[in-house]
Chains A and B, each alone.
Chain A
Amino acid sequence: MGTPLVVSEVAKSFTMHLRDGVRLPVAANVSFAVKAGECVVLGGPSGVGKSSILKMLYGNYGVDEGQILMEHDGRLVNLASAEPRTVLEVRRTTLGYVSQFLRVVPRVSALDIVAEPLQARGVAAAEARERAADLLSKLNLPKELWVLPPATFSGGEQQRVNIARGFITDHKILLLDEPTASLDAKNRAVVVEMIAEKKAQGTALIGIFHDAEVRDAVADRIIDVSEFSPRKHAA
């Protein structure tokens, strides 16, 4: 159980067919590993491909080359070539993701959005809602909001719903795309604390944090993503 995630020589480019087939290289030779209980931060300037790497790890972006190996259910899965249903199964039990923006579902309450990943793992609705309520109060989301669909929430409120949803399960690998970007100091501190708890539980975390204070508080190691810039590997 030492190293739940190994990324090996991954390369990715976009071909923009609507722009005369222009090829946009995003990353090349991406290789790193994350140990259990470790928080690795992807660093480097904007536009260097940090979010793209997270999306490849989650399966939202396909990859052109290389392997993304995850320990899942006692075996090794290469997410880069896995069938859709395998990817979904890995997401359900092994791989969590806190995206930058919450994708709201019409008519579903904040509480149910947070509870859903637990219910998907077979936890009873009442228990899942209770855990969701714990997390939302920890993140200081006003109780009046819990029963409302988050479409009308502020950016910071939506983000806290998103964080609660990502942290509610005990996924072994957790991807964090700027989870603290629109939070105030008090709630940033809560998230830092939640990340520390995950680390103590042996979760492997890979995150993007632009806030230097948060980054310094959670990072065990910073990977400079400009190392994977395709220009560097060109020729």
Chain B
Amino acid sequence: MSAVPLLKVKDVSKFYGSRIGCRNVSFELYPGEVLAVVGESGSGKTTLLSCLSTRLMPSSGIIEYHMRDGQYRDLAHMGEAERRFLMRTDWGFVHQNPADGLRMTVSAGANVGERLMAVGDRHYGNIRASANDWLRRVEIGEDRIDDQPRAFSGGMRQRLQIARNLVTSPRLVFMDEPTGGLDVSVQARLLDLVRGLVHDLGLAAIIVTHDLAVARLLSHRMMVMKDGAVIEQGLTDRVLDDPREPYTQLLVSSILQV
């Protein structure tokens, strides 16, 4: 268990004019930890994720990241090039819609290989071998490596997006509703895959979801958001088994039992 946090978030707020996106969010994320952010649509989950991953600039607050050189860097004071490099190497971002995270008109292999080239890999054979290896790990057949993701099903596209993100061995992965829009059997396969990969690679992850079962299965800790604020947080099974806040109790009691 590592002693220092990978990400330190302090009082992060984001306003859209006078409208609140998220406000005064603070937490720390340690290596290997999976944090689920739950709440209904419009609660500020995605705004928070965008701020954390530098896709949006927060209106106030500090987000610090523990770089590989052992230093903490304030993300707001990082240059654009440095931030992009971080996004391409040390971080991953899995979008709800795979088309937002993939290049739909180049082959599956190239989608994975492109991230490797971004970190300086130039040897075609190595890149192809890595791409092959990752397609196998996300259960995409070797015979599909030259196909474009346009020809893939939704579940396959999502698995390809995950492979593309993980090929550079990131330390932190952001996921925005990674199982949204998939039917349940495909979702189960994806959950199993993500769970295994997070465990094997020791990834830290922040997963935005409105599905409490997904949060239960994947996360160690959970934050519940409402109206832009974090209203309850803690160990995932504590929050789900013993919810304290009225809104959390409502959420938990609204789960459909199968």
- Which A residues form the contact surface with B (CB < 8 A)? 14-18, 55, 59-62, 84-85, 87-89, 105-108
Contact = CB atoms under 8 A, between A and B. Distances in A.
A105 B192 contact: yes
A107 B189 contact: yes
19 contacts: A14-B242, A18-B246, A18-B249, A55-B241, A59-B235, A60-B242, A61-B241, A61-B242, A62-B242, A62-B244, A84-B221, A84-B235, A85-B1, A85-B30, A88-B220, A88-B235, A106-B188, A106-B192, A107-B189
Interface size class of B (residues with CB under 8 A): 20 to 34
Given A14-B242, A60-B237, A106-B189, 8 more contacts: A59-B235, A59-B238, A60-B241, A60-B242, A62-B234, A62-B244, A87-B238, A108-B192
In the complex, which of the residues A14, A16, A59, A84 has the most CB atoms of chain B within 10 Å of its own CB atom? Answer: A84
A84 B244 contact: no
Given A84-B220, A85-B220, A105-B195, A17 B245 contact: yes
Contact of B250 (A18, A62, A88): A18
Interface in B166-196: 188-189, 191-192, 195
Contacts of B217: 105
A87 B33 CA distance: 13
Nearest to A15: B244
A17 B195 CA distance: 33
A53 B245 CA distance: 21
Nearest to B217: A105
B178 to A, nearest CB: 15
Nearest to A56: B242
B253 interface: yes
Contacts of B244: 15, 62
Nearest to A12: B242
Contacts of B253: 18
A107 B188 CA distance: 7
Nearest to B192: A107
A15 B220 CA distance: 24
Nearest to B196: A108
Nearest to A63: B242
A17 B220 contact: no
Contacts of B1: 85, 89
A62 B238 contact: yes
Contacts of A18: 246, 249-250, 253
Contacts of A87: 235, 238
A17 B235 contact: no
Given A84-B220, A85-B30, A85-B220, A16 B238 contact: no
Interface string B234-258: 1101100110111001100100000
B10 to A, nearest CB: 17
Contacts of B246: 17-18
Contacts of B189: 106-107
Contacts of A15: 244
A181 to B, nearest CB: 20
B179 to A, nearest CB: 11
Nearest to B32: A85
B238 A60 contact: yes
